[in-house]
Amino acid sequence: MVNQLINAESVLSGYRRLFGGAEPTALVRAPGRVNLIGEHVDYNDGLVLPIAIDRGVFAVAGPSGSDDIQVYSTAFDETVTIALRRDGPSDGHDAGEWSAYPRGVAAELAAAGVTLAGTRIFADSDLPVGAGLSSSAALEVAVALGLLSVAGEHLPPSDIAHICRLAEHHYAGVPCGIMDQFVCTGAVANAAMLLDCREEAARHIPWPDDDVVVLVIDSRCRHKLSDGMYGERVRQCARAAEAVRSVEPAVQTLRDVTAEQLDACRSSMEPVVYRRARHVVTEIQRTCEAAAALERGDFTAFGKAINGSHDSLRDDYEVSSAELDDLVETARGVPGVFGARMTGAGFGGCVVVAATRDAVPRVEAAVRTCYNMKYGVTAHVMTTRACEGATTTEVPRP
């Protein structure tokens, strides 16, 4: 709570300093997220189990008094200006730039029928960028809420999630699943979100024990290789589903395939395609087991599921890295840790750990001696918890 107030104060004064004059009207907070389990299953219609975290984008919005939308980000110390009348979905020249996100959100809101007003937004973020904690969705949702607030419009969280996802597809050029925007807009405090990516339906599972925390460890390692590898995994999954479909016509995606069905078709697919599919099929099963374990408050079973997830991502899906494997092994060796795994698309990014609260200093010390010294970087250990989704509050008149 104290942290949030400090952030609110700093973004409010940042807005006033940058834009001068007109008072802001809305304070927006859009969280990042960490996926506890269910990795590389979203594009196979599977189940994921993310939480919104206590880091995110804090933004302040107000009317600009003109036909322009201006979005400033502290992360880039830059203002993007979007002319309201000229802006349209065909204006995609800034793909690859951060401006693609606010521009895409404005265009997709307009395409959804929202009449936008001239708006100024000042956005600050305490999320590492590109680390797999969904800084992109947090930015999109913060911009969407800021624009909606100044336009005097309300949309349900799931509509905002869809609009932001379209912005990411059409403007940033990232063909992401629905998880990031859904958890950012729809998470409930102190609960993990079991999200069915096929039905787009969420079930909130209360976090059963305040003495068990989620640790996110940023390896500080970003591999650029991941783009081509990602598309290759998507295609391999489609090929596996196709092979099973030839004997089980009802199968649409790997979500519909059981371990037995997959094994029965093993000889009809390349060994590597079989292993990719085995990851997906077993990961969906592990996600269900992890959710059930959370519901029972059984962190031993929960930890076992997330350990299994990492091993499968490392061995069958082959998206881990030496750095991530080292962090996972380091965390697993600490008393009080229930389980650890890489999270996000892989090849770098973060590791997620479930541990007792009193194990946190031991994890930090182990990371310092076993990881930081070996790789010559400082991996950031962040203690977090399940937080609520994005919120908008009115800024009181001074």
> Counting Cβ atoms within 10 Å, is residue 90 exposed (0-12), middle (13-18) or buried (19+)?
exposed
> Rounded to the nearest whole angstrom, what is the least distance from the CB of residue 259 to ligand ADP in the complex?
30
- SS3 of 176-223: the string is CCCHHHHHHHHCCCCEEEEEECCCCEEEEEECCCCCEEEEEEEEEEEC
User: Residues 284, 46: contact at Cβ < 8 Å?
Assistant: yes
By a kind-dependent CB cut-off of 5 to 8 A, residue 130 interacts, out of Mg ion, ligand ADP, none, with: ligand ADP
CA-based max dimension of the chain: 71
Closer residue to Mg ion (CB): 127 or 386: 127
Closer residue to ligand ADP (CB): 135 or 330: 135
By a kind-dependent CB cut-off of 5 to 8 A, residue 129 interacts, out of ligand ADP, Mg ion, none, with: ligand ADP
**Can you give the length of the chain in residues?**
398
Closer residue to ligand ADP (CB): 26 or 133: 133
**Strand residues in the chain grouped as ranges (E):** 26-35, 47-48, 50-63, 68-73, 78-83, 119-125, 191-196, 201-206, 212-222, 337-343, 348-356, 380-384, 391-394
* Residues paired with 60 in a beta bridge: 27, 122
Closer residue to ligand ADP (CB): 124 or 283: 124
- Which stretch of DSSP H or E encloses residue 17? helix 2-19
Select from 21-29, 136-144, 145-153, 214-222 the region that touches Mg ion (CB under 5 A).
136-144
Closer residue to ligand ADP (CB): 11 or 57: 57
By a kind-dependent CB cut-off of 5 to 8 A, residue 75 interacts, out of ligand ADP, Mg ion, none, with: ligand ADP
* Residues paired with 381 in a beta bridge: 217
> Rounded to an integer, what is the distance from CA 154 to the centroid of its chain?
23
> Rounded to the nearest whole angstrom, what is the least distance from the CB of residue 129 to ligand ADP in the complex?
5
Based on the shown chain and the rule CB under 5 A, indicate whether residue 119 belongs to the binding site for Mg ion.
Answer: no
> Rounded to the nearest whole angstrom, what is the least distance from the CB of residue 151 to Mg ion in the complex?
25
By a kind-dependent CB cut-off of 5 to 8 A, residue 395 interacts, out of Mg ion, ligand ADP, none, with: none
Pull the structure tokens for residue 124: 């600050």
Catalytic residues: 180
Based on the shown chain and the rule CB under 5 A, indicate whether residue 136 belongs to the binding site for Mg ion.
Answer: yes
State phi, psi for 116 to the nearest 5 degrees. -80, 155
> Rounded to the nearest whole angstrom, what is the least distance from the CB of residue 217 to ligand ADP in the complex?
15
> Rounded to the nearest whole angstrom, what is the least distance from the CB of residue 313 to ligand ADP in the complex?
16
* Residues paired with 81 in a beta bridge: 70
By a kind-dependent CB cut-off of 5 to 8 A, residue 384 interacts, out of ligand ADP, Mg ion, none, with: none
Residue nearest to Mg ion (CB): 136
Closer residue to Mg ion (CB): 130 or 297: 130
Q: 271-296 and 299-315 helices cross at what angle (nearest 10)? A: 170
User: Residues 377, 221: contact at Cβ < 8 Å?
Assistant: yes
Closer residue to ligand ADP (CB): 169 or 332: 169
> Rounded to the nearest whole angstrom, what is the least distance from the CB of residue 53 to ligand ADP in the complex?
12
Contact footprint for ligand ADP (CB under 6 A)? 57, 73, 75-76, 98, 101, 123, 125, 129-136, 139, 174
User: Residues 214, 354: contact at Cβ < 8 Å?
Assistant: yes
- Which stretch of DSSP H or E encloses residue 14? helix 2-19
By a kind-dependent CB cut-off of 5 to 8 A, residue 193 interacts, out of Mg ion, ligand ADP, none, with: none
Select from 131-139, 143-151, 241-249, 272-280 the region that touches Mg ion (CB under 5 A).
131-139
Tell me which amino acid residue 71 is: V
Count, residues near Mg ion per rule CB under 5 A:
2
Neighbouring CB atoms inside 10 A of 68's CB total 15
* Residues paired with 82 in a beta bridge: 69
By a kind-dependent CB cut-off of 5 to 8 A, residue 201 interacts, out of Mg ion, ligand ADP, none, with: none
> Rounded to the nearest whole angstrom, what is the least distance from the CB of residue 140 to ligand ADP in the complex?
9
- Residue numbers at the binding site for Mg ion (CB under 5 A): 134, 136
